[in-house]
Structure 1
Amino acid sequence: MSVTTKKSISKKEWEQRLSKEKVNKQDLNRLVMNYLVIEGYKDAAEQFSLESGLEPTIDLESIQERMEIRHAIQSGDVDTAIELVNDVNPEILDTNPELFFHLQQQRLIEMIRNGDFTEALEFAAEEMAPRGEEHPEFLQELERTMALLAFQNVQDSPVSDLLHSGQRQKTASELNAAILVSQSREKDPKLPSLLKMLVWSQDQLDERMIYPRIENLISADLVVRDSQGNPVDDAIDSIGTPL
């Protein structure tokens, strides 16, 4: 078995190197404002504008419609969300069958969540099945949703993730992005892409060295682990790793 020695760096030295990297505060503020505006957090954007002195890139009042639509989806009121979207621009749903299917899927999920099983079956047969015939790529998602009905306790279903708040968030984000595109605006905030790049960069660096890495993107604490993945107080000079 051959052994290679990974280069190692201590937490203290890593922090010293990081401290030498100068990041423009205004650039960071723009990243945050970009996220708040695109995701539709009007109140937070207003407060952040006051605290940072940074003017938002769009009129914050224009966010209000998207806020109301997002709130409707996240509250499970899909009918109201559809009405509000049509008030903004009826072409958004008319020209995006996948988005409209996902909204109908969310309506079906909410019926099942509320225990309206007969109504759910009728809705699936009359509204969603025909769309599945027109767009076969939707059938698998429809089948996953209908699988919720196969369990007396839907929370025990292997597809119970459809009932989690993350599913509502996913639908709300998809709808929010479609509205932004219809308004010729940027639909994806820059911050999540930068965080994905951070994760990818650390994965690449893991193959070459042992260093303090960020494991929790919320706290951003630096964590040092040995070659077996155990947390340690700090990195040593070098560690032999079997190949």
Structure 2
Amino acid sequence: AIDQDFLATAEIANDTPVAYNSRRALATAGIERRLHPWLTGGLSLLAEKANVTQLANVPGMGTQRYELAGLPAYIKLDQTDNLLNPTTGYRAQLSVTPAHTFSGSRLTFATNLLSGSTYWALGAEQRAILAGKLALGSLDGAPLFQLPADQRIYAGGGGSIRPYGWQLAGPLAPNKDPIGGRSSLVLNLEARIKITETIGIVPFFDAGSYYESPVPQLGRTLLYGVGLGARYYTGFGPLRFDLATPLHKRSGDSPIQVYISLGQAF
């Protein structure tokens, strides 16, 4: 038997993140197939219509209206022991999304994301876990300032570089709004230490940025910071509370970022 699922989504959204305001209608339909107990692949069709207003004071600012068709594809590998609280093993995922816009600036581009994480348990009782993650993003085929702001690559915030606010880990416009980019690099390192069976602490280090070029420019400014988290372990996964602070603090950066969620950061 083929282990395969049909997946479909539809949404109408009014999004107001830091970098832009958008009103959009989006629909996807595709399949996901389990190729092996630890390997999954997916392919879908994407259709989107959006009005996006860029907030950064840079070329191309203002409202862009576009229709977009895309072909998202991904493959992911998971050799860990637990979805929400991995203690051993590794994960990797590659996603590629070619897309074309049919109005405004007619653009053809591809967004590529690659990530990998690994986990090491220390000691027979596994009361300390060392965890690391590296994520790379690249968008090729279109000039940065012709791209709608919501199609650009950003970094910062939960699930990314926690010492910096959402979308803020990268070049900013004079008004301190994020410009967005065509590539990104994110590095996360954690030590997950259990104090009791239900309470733990997690010191962590995050670094990276997004870049205007289609590949990360490692010689450019790298943003980094540290943090300390608390974990409350439940039967369905850990509850996470993280405090993070930037060590490379720019004018306008908040000294503290706070995150609360279910599951480990990665």
Give TM-score scaled by structure 1 length: 0.23
TM-score by length of 2: 0.21
Structure with the bigger percentage of strand:
2
Question: Highest Rg: 1 or 2?
Answer: 1
Question: Which structure shows the bigger proportion of residues in helix conformation?
Answer: 1
